[in-house]
Amino acid sequence: MTQNPSLSPAPFTFDVQACDGRARAGVFHTPHGDILTPVFAPVGTQATVKAVTPAQLHELGVNLILSNTYHLYLRPGDERIAALGGLHRFMNWSKPILTDSGGFQVFSLTGIRKIDEDGVNFKSHIDGSMHRFTPEKSMAVQENLGADIIMAFDECALPHDREYSQQAMVRTHAWAERCLRAKSHPTQALFGIVQGGVFLDLRKQSAEFIASLGFPGHAIGGLSVGESKIEMHAVLELVDGILPESKPRYLMGVGTPEDLIHGVLRGIDMFDCVLPTRLARHNAALTRAMGRLNLVNAAYAEDPTPIDDTCACYTCQHYSRAYLRHLIIAKEMLAATLLSIHNIHTLVQLARDMRQAIIEERFDAFTAENFRKREQEG
């Protein structure tokens, strides 16, 4: 992996600056800057956050993005990215990057992958070529990419299948140990992942085991994949009492406003999701109070108001619902950009507001007000 010589090895310490109940405001130190938590990370699957430039992300206050190991391994290739100076230089992003392990994508390739105790064989969704990922391979690919935070190779099971959840958890634990042995770059922080489906005894066992391995941070995987909100919250409450408070907790793949609030209430520090840009490409605006607005609706054809008159984003400050609907109906690419800017801003600003509320010890009042507005607009 090509390393930037100006970056010195980071200690990857996590400072908890304030607590209000189980909610925490902290800072995670990385080679490419501090990550203030709670934090929402937009997803740049293929080294780009869809429809948004890095300059626009900087203007939105984004200080962490996620890219996908599986997709970048297949195209353009992790070795090519390393030869070109690593992912930061390749995509012109100077702030922290997190890469997932590729596990979720590989294991979602039902019918074109085969799992064994050592790893998984899978067929490329692009050209049908055969490949193999093991914990060691995932570490090698992520080291080539050069992200600040990398993830242990894990297996995500169906949430309600106990036998499969247990098997996947056991493999995840064995693979976590192998990832630790294989990791070699001090400028990357490797996070372990807690699995176990919706089964609290398995989640307890997994959280205790992963916490014992000494990772600088911990992720909770296998949620927001079909379980109920009650089941998700029960898992988060359980692991909150087990994972060390001195290290960040990352809830993978979760990104609605209400889920961010519920996660922070239960000790979560970090979130990522494709939701804001995916909704934008499907003509929907995300708001904290009103949920989602489908701007294809004819009711917005002559609506001169912004998406959200309380929102300070570029889109809401300059454009009406009527104009956005026009762009959508005319199939103009600008629609996806303007809606992505608004949707990302909504979640990034929510994380900022939660952080401030925690610091000022008014997080309970903050959450109550947000949920009250949601119910009124509902």
Residues of the chain with pLDDT below 50 are: 1-9
Query: Residue 17 in 3-state DSSP?
Result: strand
The predicted pLDDT at position 228 comes to: 97
**Tokens 């950009």 — which residue?**
337
pLDDT for the residue numbered 10: 53
Residue 169 confidence (pLDDT): 97
Question: For the whole prediction, is pTM greater than 0.85?
Answer: yes
Q: What is the pLDDT of residue 111?
A: 78
Any idea where the domains of the chain sit in the sequence? 14-273
Provide the pLDDT for residue 374: 80
List pLDDT tens digits, range 318-368.
999 999 999 999 999 999 999 999 999 999 999 999 999 999 999 999 999
> If DSSP codes are grouped into helix, strand and coil, which group holds residue 59?
helix
CA distance 343 to 339: 6
Euclidean distance between the first and final Cα of the chain, in Å?
50
158 neighbors 145 (Cβ within 8 angstroms): no
Burial 257-289, CB ≥16 within 10 A → b, else e: bebbbbbbbbbbbbbbbbbbbebbeebbbbbbb
Q: Name the CATH superfamily housing domain 14-273.
A: Queuine tRNA-ribosyltransferase-like (3.20.20.105)
- Nearest one of 203, 206, 143 to 179, comparing CA atoms: 143
Spell out the alpha helix ranges (H) of 219-359. Answer: 229-240, 257-265, 275-281, 314-318, 321-329, 334-359
Strand 149-151 to 33-37 pairing = unpaired
Mark whether 78 is an active-site residue. Answer: no
**Residue among 78, 100, 240, 269 flagged as catalytic:** 100
Strand partners, 115: 120
In degrees to the nearest 10, what's the CA dihedral of 186, 18, 98, 287? -170
Place of tokens 């009711």: 299
The question of whether 127 is a catalytic residue gets the answer: no
**DSSP code, position 300:** G
Catalytic pick among 148, 240, 259, 272: 272
